[in-house]
Amino acid sequence: MYLLYRNVIFCYFAIIESGNNFLRELVMTACENWDDHRLMAELKTNNELAFNAIYFRYSTVLYRYAFNILKDEDECTDVIQEIFVWLWENRSNLHISNLKCYLMAAVRYRMIRVIATSKRKEEILSRSISGTPLHTDDFLEVKELKHVITDFTASLPVRAQETFKLSREQYLSNKEIALQLGISEKTVEAQMTISLKKLRLYLNRMFG
């Protein structure tokens, strides 16, 4: 039921994007005098107009922020949609003083999660020194993201570090890791499952 609900929300994003220009103009005209504090107050009362206004006000800048790092349209779209799904689902309990900063931090949190679990991790993190120019702010973001992931990896037990690095840095399959380390494939799967759970907890502690 929960997955069905989330799929409905994602379909909703597709609908509002399909009529993007008209709906954006309609919503932003209706809410042009509403600042972020007013939008958040209205959102807490289940006001869908306020939700749409927040989406149209910030989705583009959030997407660009994510794309400057990830360079993948599907991953960036997923990141942005996850944030707005979460925003709607938790609207009644939110206490946000600066909406833009909050949303940018949410993108950053999810980018770390995407990068740390991606087969493209080294490609993304090394892009700043491998030829694709980044703006100064983006370069600093990449350095910080790399630092966070390196710190997390170092916090794992030695064998878990080995499996995590072989999977996420050398792109080995579970079977290949098992053969290289002389352990069973099930052991590799179990260690990766535990590591990814720890990663989520680690990021939750850092970014709330």
- pLDDT one-digit tens code per residue, 188-201: 999 998 988 888 77
The full DSSP string for 95-149 is: --S-HHHHHHHHHHHHHHHHHHT-TTHHHHHHGGGTT----HHHHHHHHHHHHHH
pLDDT at 117: 73
pLDDT band at 68 (very low <50, low <70, confident <90, very high): confident
Mean pLDDT for 89-115 is: 87
- Calculate the CA 190 to chain-centre distance: 24
More confident residue, 139 or 72: 72
**CA 195-110-75 angle, 5° bins:** 105
Q: How far apart are the first and last CA of the chain?
A: 26
Most confident of 106-110, 126-130, 145-149: 106-110
Write the CATH number of the domain with boundaries 136-207. 1.10.10.10
Q: How many CB atoms lie within 10 A of CB 6?
A: 14
41, pLDDT greater than 90: yes
Q: Is the CB of residue 50 less than 8 Å from the CB of residue 34?
A: yes
Domain locations in the chain as residue ranges: 1-129, 136-207
Multiple choice CATH, 1-129, 3.30.470.20, 1.10.1740.10, 3.40.50.20, 3.40.50.300: 1.10.1740.10
**What region, left, alpha or beta, does residue 198 occupy, with left being phi > 0 and alpha being psi -120 to 50 degrees?**
alpha
